[in-house]
Amino acid sequence: MYQLEEKIYFYALIIIPIMILLFLILQIWKRKTQQKFGDKRLLKKLSPANSTFKSILKLIVISLAFASLAIALVNPKIGTKLETVKREGVDIVFAVDVSKSMLAEDIAPNRLEKSKRLVSEIVNELGSDRIGIIAYAGQAFPQLPITTDYAAAKMFLQSMNTDMLSSQGTAIDDAINLAKTYYNDEEQTNRVLFIVSDGEDHSQGSIDAVEDALQEGIRIFTIGVGTEKGSPIPIKVNNIVDSYKKDSNGQVVITKLNEQVLKDIADEGEGAYISGKNTEEVVEFVRETLAQMDKKEFEAKQFADYKDQFQWFIAAAILFLFLDVFLLERKTAWLQKLNLFNENKGDE
């Protein structure tokens, strides 16, 4: 198992294609200039030691040096052993609404991105709880099973979008029923489901699904994302708003936050409803709620003793820079004497 500590430094690799582009421009300019100056064969006799291959080789060496330095700044780490640790926590499942209405921009940048940020910030505050993620629209889809791998959870979370489910609509009951299959530990007394949605519910059996979940010990909390004023649903082409979603009568659809539906679900599920407008308030609410719950002890396997590997890439960068210093752009004398490719035969 490995970790990349500072991924932002991968952007430093953009220097390499820039150097290659500048090198190609320089070579084209030199060739055109030489053609104006004199005949190609005459120039070759005037500068017999000039080597295009050596220039390319120096560029490759410098590029490898920059690549090694960039990777060293990223600081890759390798987990050297897998160990089992005892942890205490609550099983938490996040059901995130990915229906088209979540593209509404009444909350910046839009409802879905706000939802993903809320869940991500909550995950950042968790200590040893197990988490799972469900995406739902017209149907529910298991995005991530119960796990203690928070990094994987956030990775799957960021990949969620409104195109991942072909069936549109908002079926909260499907999400609740799917969540029931996530809690695989019968001894876990505290099971929590957070539904993150704008409250639009096109299903008919949400309350029945809540009652069934409650019988299995699942408390349901809801987080509302959106505004009561509402907003149209943009249709974008290349990230630019091209039009807005319309109904069968050609009228622009205005989607609004339906807090009442979410409050009813939370009340029936012995949980609570909270507005998702303020991220800090949501995170604090979740932290306090989980702190009041009994924790279940369980075993979890995780990689430990991560060791830095940046030193190897720094050593490689120094080696490449050292080679560049002693790598001249002219032809090497002893290679010329070998005349491996019979280059001097035509000059006699």
> What phi and psi, each to the nearest 5 degrees, are found at residue 183?
-85, 95
- Are residues 32 and 87 located together in one domain of the fold? no
CA gap 217, 283 in Å, rounded: 23
- Are residues 340 and 242 located together in one domain of the fold? no
- Are residues 133 and 220 located together in one domain of the fold? yes
Which pLDDT score, from 0 to 100, does residue 84 have? 62
For residue range 12-25, list pLDDT tens digits in order: 899 999 999 998 99
Domain span including residue 33 = 2-75+309-347
DSSP at 149: -
> What phi and psi, each to the nearest 5 degrees, are found at residue 252?
-65, 130
For residues 262-275, average pLDDT: 95
Q: List, in order, residues 6 or more apart from 220 with CB less than 8 Å away.
A: 176, 193, 195, 210, 213, 214, 265, 266, 268, 269, 270, 271
The tally of domains found in the chain comes to 2
- Are residues 145 and 20 located together in one domain of the fold? no
- 346 pLDDT band, cuts 50/70/90, is very low
* Alpha-carbon distances, residue 49 vs 52, 54, 166, 188, 278 (angstroms): 10, 10, 65, 77, 69
- Are residues 100 and 138 located together in one domain of the fold? yes
- Are residues 224 and 341 located together in one domain of the fold? no
Angle between helices 279-291 and 111-125 (to 10 degrees): 40
- Are residues 65 and 99 located together in one domain of the fold? no
* Alpha-carbon distances, residue 138 vs 51, 75, 100, 162, 200 (angstroms): 65, 43, 10, 11, 11
29 Cα distance to chain centroid: 42
- Are residues 207 and 264 located together in one domain of the fold? yes
Percent of the chain beyond pLDDT 90? Answer: 45
For residues 101-118, average pLDDT: 94
DSSP at 143: E
CA gap 2, 218 in Å, rounded: 35
- Are residues 131 and 159 located together in one domain of the fold? yes
- Give the CATH number of the domain where residue 197 resides: 3.40.50.410
- Are residues 201 and 340 located together in one domain of the fold? no
Nearest C-alpha neighbor of 271 from the set 289, 284, 292, 291 = 289
3-state secondary structure of 248: coil
- Are residues 211 and 283 located together in one domain of the fold? yes
- Are residues 106 and 169 located together in one domain of the fold? yes
For residue range 156-207, list pLDDT tens digits in order: 999 999 888 877 777 899 999 999 999 876 766 789 999 999 998 777 778 8
